[in-house]
Each structure stands twice: as structure tokens, then as C-alpha cells.
Amino acid sequence: MRTVVVDGPASIRVDTRPDPALTGPDGVIVAVRAAGICGSDLHFYEGDYPMAEPVALGHEAVGTVVEAGPEVRTVKVGDEVLVSSVAGCGACPGCATNDPVMCYSGLTIFGGGVLPGAQSDLLAVHAADFQVRKIPEGISTEQALLLTDNLATGWAAAQRADIPYGGTVAVIGLGAVGLCALRSALVQGAATVFAIDRVEGRLQRAAQWGGTPITAPATEAVLAATGGRGADAVIDAVGTDASMTDALSAVRPGGTVSVVGVHDLQPFPFPALMSLIRSITLRMTTAPVQRTWPELIPLLQSGRLDVEGIFTTTLPLDEAAKAYATAAARSGDDVKVLLTP
């Protein structure tokens, strides 16, 4: 099978590797029909994380079950499925909460060097009854792919931001997760969502979807727009020192900062005294993907939550190097790239 591999900064290739075998009687093999490039994949591509050996990339996949172990109950061969990007053992009390982050064995993520990469022809998935879901009626391929990670992340970011009904929210970073967080915040009751980025095209896109565009950095503009008070909640979908500092400065006293952007491996100089004096709540979240599905799927099916237009570019798997270069450019025209094996 083919699989996308990174072996150094900006060095992407498509390898041919042996087809995967079932991980056990509770596992499935999925023939991948579509895979997404996530902002967190770019940390490997841009050299933020050390690699002892090449890493097979990707943690967002939908496809067809082509083999299933005898203990798999919820899906069968031939089913079209989506795969949670975040995985747990599926059998412990933590996983019983439908949040793989709570797995007693520790969460794992596809395409991070431990589990196989989803940007492949085939993907072996363990504990399939926990990790995999049959794509529900009325859910498109792009919606299903967003349910594997980005939409679940944006939704959880908004939930953990303590958004008051009619409140003000600032979303920093208008990539796929940030745009999902913007739309989630509006559905969850925000009256105003300040949409913050440096890229003009992304600001314009957010404005079309109900955001109030602000060019980063945001603190002064958010304070000016709120009469000096600050936003009730700030969602940071970037996760750099600059964006987290901006978020903590732009939130009102007693407000909440919800961080879902993936930071690098360097320590963050946390402004502890300022945050203490202003009674700031800080939450940092890896998406509880499976837990979000019962909430998000009906909202997508009903049309109340609209995620059309987040995928902007589609390329074949063999053009993965071009796809990663496109994603890394972070332009206004190219928000999220879909790969088609």
C-alpha cells in the first residue's frame, strides 16, 4: 500500500509499505477514501518535533471497512466509516465516558509515530467499536472527515470556553479548527465572535460566516470593541507563545481562555500573576472526539451547524508533497486540504 511519510523538515514522500494486518479480534482494516491534512501534521513537516525515523502521517480518515475481526459488533465489511483521530483502548472506565483522552492506558493519535498514519491506502484500527463509526445518513464525506478531528476540536473548544448566551467570544487563528470553533461558538449562544488572523483572505472568509474580523494581534482591538472589558471567552486555535499571550490579555476578568492550538516543545512563559489577579480560567483541550458525535451529527444533519467551505483543496495521495506545501503556506485561498487515495 501507499502511505505518506515525513522524514525531515519539508520532506514529504509517498512510500510503498506492506498492507496492514488486523491488530486483533476487535480490529478492522479501512480502505481510506479521503484523508485530511491537519494543522498539527504541519508540526512534523515544519521540523517542530524531533524524529528518530520517518513518520507515517495523518489522523483524519474516512473509508470502507474491508476486513473486520470476529469481536467487532458495530460495523461490518462494506460499511462506510469515519475513524476518530484520538484513540483509546476502548475497554477501560475512562473510555466508557466516550472520551479517549481519559483512557487509563493513555491516549494515542494516528499518524504520530505510534499508530499508523491515516494518509494511506489502508488503515488498521484497533478497538474498532470504540474508534470507528458508520457514517450516518445525510453526512457528506467532508462532514465525516471533519468529525474525525477538526469539528470535534472546535466544538469542544467552544464548550470549554464557558460562553455565556449572548456573550462575546474571540477566536484566534482561522484555519480549519478556528473556523469550526467560530461556527460552534455561534451555535452555542455567542452573539459576537471576533475572528482573528493575519491572513486577509481568512478574515474575509470568517466575516462571510458571521465573524467580526480583526487582524492579529488582537488585544487592543478586542478591548476597544468591548469598552475596555475584554471578551467573555477566547479560543486559541494557534497555540504559539504569541497567540496564548494575546488570548490571556484579551479575555475579560473572570473570563475563560480555551486553548486547542498545538504548541511546540518549548516552555510557555505563562503570565501567572496577571492571570491570578484577573481570575482567569485556562483550559487546554485534546478533543474528546467520540463524545462529540451524538451532539454534532444531529446538528449537521439538521443544517443548524454548517461546515461547508472549510475544505478548499483536493489533491490525490500521490501529490502529498504539493498538498503539504499548500497547507503550510496558510493562504487565504487554501484553508484545508483533502487527500484522495
| Cβ pair 259, 285 in contact under 8 A | yes
Distance, in Å, from the CA atom of 337 to the CA atom of 310, rounded to the nearest integer, reads: 9
Ranges of the chain with pLDDT below 70? none
| Cβ pair 78, 29 in contact under 8 A | no
Pick from 101, 90, 74: which is nearest to 289 by CA?
A: 101
Q: How many residues does the chain have?
A: 341
Q: How many CB atoms lie within 10 A of CB 323?
A: 24
pLDDT at 252: 98
Query: Which residues lie closer than 8 Å to 227 by C-beta, 6 or more apart?
Result: none
- Using a CB cutoff of 8 Å and minimum separation of 24, what contacts does 215-218 make? 216/172, 216/243, 216/246, 217/242, 217/246, 218/170, 218/172, 218/194, 218/246, 218/250
Question: What DSSP line would sit under 20-73, residue for residue?
Answer: P--SSTT-EEEEEEEEE--TTHHHHHTT-S--SS-EE----EEEEEEEE-TT--
Residue range 59-87, pLDDT digits in tens: 999 999 999 999 999 999 999 999 999 99
Query: Which residues lie closer than 8 Å to 219 by C-beta, 6 or more apart?
Result: 246, 249, 250
pLDDT at 265: 86
| Cβ pair 82, 135 in contact under 8 A | yes
Continuous segment of H or E residues that includes residue 299: helix 289-302
Domains of the chain: 2-149+288-339 (3.90.180.10), 153-284 (3.40.50.720)
- Write down the pTM of the prediction: 0.96
pLDDT at 11: 96
pLDDT at 51: 85
